[in-house]
Amino acid sequence: MTMLAGIVRTLLVGALAVGSTGCIKQMLLDGQIESTRKASAAVDTVGDYEVANNAAFAGLAQFEGMHYLAPENENALFMLTKGWAGATFGFIEDRMEEAEDTDGLDSPLYVYHQERTKQGYSRAIHYGIELVEKKNPGFEAAKRNDETMKNWLQGFGVEDVPNLFWLGYSWIARVNAGKDDPAMVAELYVGVAIMERVAELDGTYMYGSPHTILGAYHARSAAAELEDAKKHFDEAIKIGEGKVMLPKVQMAAKYYCLKGDKEAYVKTLTEVVEAGDTMPEQRLQNAIAKRRARRYLGKERLKACGF
C-alpha cells in the first residue's frame, strides 16, 4: 500500500467514525425526547397547584432545549405545543383572571398578564403549525377562509388528533384572551374548524375535551348557539363520566351564566369545589378546575353574570 493510499484510507475511516458518532448521538437524543414525552404524563397526577406550576415551566425550558438540539423531532414539537398551551391555560391565564377580578380590565396588571397569555398561546401555535405541516403542508394558504380550512383538514386522520387538538385549542384560547383585537377575532374560524375536525375524528380525546372547547365556543355570547353549547358540554361530561371537572366549570361559566340560571350555576360550581379525588390520573386538571370554580363563585364573577 502506498503512503498516499494509506492516508486516504485513514481519512475515510475517520470520516465514517465521525458520521457514526453523529448518528448515535441523534438516536440517543431522539430516544431521550420520546421517553420524556411518555414520562410527562406523571405530572397529570400531581394535585398540588404550586408544585405543578413550577414543574410546567421547568419542563418547557427542557423541551425548548431539546427542540434546539433536534429541530425536526416531532415529539419535541408536540410537547412544546401541548406544554405551552397547558401552562398558559393553567397558570398564566389564571393570573390574568385574578388581575381582572382584583384590578379590572383596564388595569396595567391585567393588560400585562393578558399579553403574557396571548404570547403563551402564540408560542404553542407556532410549534403546532410546524408540527401539523410535517403531515400536511399548506396551513397559511388553508386559513384563507372557512371552506379552504375545512378542505385542508381532510388531509388528517385519527392519528393526528393530539397534534390538531392542541393547535386548535391554542388558537381558540388566544382569541378568547385577545377578544379586544378585531383582527384576531376575525380568524376564530380557524381554531373552530380544527376543533370540529378533532371532534369528528375522536371526540373522546382527553376525556371529551374537544366537546368542552366547542361548548365554550357556542356559548361565546348570549346571541350565540347556546343549545349547541349545552349538547357539547353534556357530551363531555358523559365521556368523562362526571369525574373530569373542567366541562362542568365551563358549562357554569359560559352556559348557565349567559342563561341567567343562578341556581344551576352555583350548584354546578359547588359540586366541583366539593368533589373528591375523582380521577387520580387527571388530578392536576381537576385541581385547576376547582381553583377556577372557587373564583367563579366569587362576588365579581357572580356580578358579571348578573346574579
Share of the chain above pLDDT 90, in %: 85
Residue 8, pLDDT > 90, answer no
DSSP label of 251: I
Q: What is the dihedral of CA 64, 166, 218, 188, to 10 degrees?
A: 60
pLDDT exceeds 60 at position 130:
yes
DSSP, collapsed to helix, strand or coil, labels residue 85 as helix
Average pLDDT over residues 39-57: 93
Q: What is the pTM of this model?
A: 0.90
pLDDT for 292: 98
Band (pLDDT 50/70/90 cuts) for residue 39 is: confident
CATH value at residue 71: 1.25.40.920
Sign of CA dihedral 189, 193, 195, 199: positive
Of 22-36, 223-237, 240-254, 285-299, least confident by mean pLDDT is 22-36
Both 55 and 177 in one domain: the answer is yes
Mean pLDDT value across residues 226-240: 97
Domain boundary among 189, 215, 249: 189
- Answer yes or no: do 185 and 138 share one domain: yes
Q: What is the pLDDT of residues 211-222, one digit of tens each?
A: 999 999 999 998
Domain co-membership, 157 together with 290: no
Could you tell me the three cell numbers for 268? 354546578
Q: Which residue has the higher pLDDT, 287 or 12?
A: 287
- Do 185 and 207 lie in a common domain? no
Q: Which of 13-17, 53-57, 122-126 has the lowest mean pLDDT?
A: 13-17
Q: Same domain, yes or no, for 62 and 120?
A: yes
Does 167 lie in the same domain as 208? no
Rounded CA-CA distance 4/17 in Å is 20
Q: Residue 301 is placed in which grid cell?
A: 364573577
The domain of 245 spans 203-307
For residue 156, being part of any structural domain is answered with: yes
Return the number of other C-beta atoms located less than 10 Å from residue 16's C-beta. 10
- Residue after which a domain boundary falls, among 123, 155, 189: 189
Whether residue 87 sits in one domain with residue 143: yes
Both 183 and 227 in one domain: the answer is no
Any domain includes 29: no
- pLDDT tops 90 at residue 225: yes
Residue 26 pLDDT level (bands cut at 50, 70, 90): confident
126 in any annotated domain: yes
Based on the fold, state whether residues 208 and 144 are members of the same structural domain: no
pLDDT tier, 16 (very low <50, low <70, confident <90, very high otherwise)? very low
Do both 93 and 224 map to the same domain?
no
Given 130, 160, 189, the domain boundary residue is 189
| Number of domains making up the chain | 2
Q: Are residues 161 and 221 in the same domain?
A: no
Q: Are residues 174 and 261 both part of a single domain?
A: no
Residue 43 lies in a domain: no
Q: What is the pLDDT of residues 62-83, one digit of tens each?
A: 999 999 999 999 999 999 999 9
- Domain membership of residue 27 (yes or no) is no
**Which pLDDT score is estimated for 152?**
98
At 240, is the pLDDT very low, low, confident or very high (cuts 50, 70, 90)?
very high
Tell me which H or E stretch contains 170: helix 161-177
Is there a contact between 284 and 244 (Cβ–Cβ < 8 Å)? no
